[in-house]
A and B are shown apart, each in its own frame.
Chain A
């Protein structure tokens, strides 16, 4: 099955800083998504991005499918950005395989 890796595992930032989170996957995929799990446990959809680049406010994401990686950029981070960021890829329509996540802490 598809393997998904994320880096870094942990990230501590000062409010206002920028960051880049990376997701590597082992095989070609039809679907890649980024999620934010907030401190209350909710999984919030950030991007559905099997390829290309998308932006949503301070967040943007790029997936280079041919090289099997995706990047999530967070600019001007805020304390509300804290939580765990997961990428997940579609495993041939059977399930979504999640990476281990990047735990982000944004300090005031």
Chain B
């Protein structure tokens, strides 16, 4: 158990819909990262939050947004879903007490858009 919790584990939804993925980081970790892994592809960085503030942005579509709340949990919102958004979405956390440390990943949310 990595200590990073993602919900839900699986999600099936229709094109055009909106979904929210949730991530609870390891206790004490200030940074949360979101990654997308499409079928048989590598991990693509979407966005990083550090202690509630956006710190870095990757190849995140405008239809996607994220936020980190005061309790440090994070949500990734995906809207106007397309078939190509089907993927495994991972959340990771690191930076315990502001010191860059090992990153740990959650089990992922497998999103299927039909």
Contacts of A100 in B (CB 8 A): 42
Interfacial residues of chain B within 55-103, with CB under 8 A of chain A in the complex: 55-56, 58, 88, 90, 92, 100-103
Of the four ranges (under 10, 10 to 19, 20 to 34, 35 or more), the interface on chain B belongs to: 20 to 34
Q: Does A73 contact B (CB under 8 A)?
A: no
Chain A residues lying within 8 Å of B92, measured Cβ to Cβ, are: 96
Interface size of A as a range: 20 to 34
A97 to chain B, nearest CB (A): 7
Which of A11-19, A37-45, A55-63, A64-72 contacts its partner? A37-45
- A95 near B102: Cβ-Cβ < 8 Å: no
Task: State the CA gap A99–B44 with chains docked (Å).
Answer: 10
Q: Nearest chain A CB to B94's CB is how many angstroms away?
A: 8
Check B48–A98 contact: CB distance below 8 A. Answer: no
Query: Contact partner of B105 among A30, A43, A90, A99, CB < 8 A?
Result: A43
Question: CA A98 – CA B92 in complex, angstroms?
Answer: 13
Find residues 72-99 in chain A having any chain B CB closer than 8 Å to their own CB: 86, 88, 90, 93-99
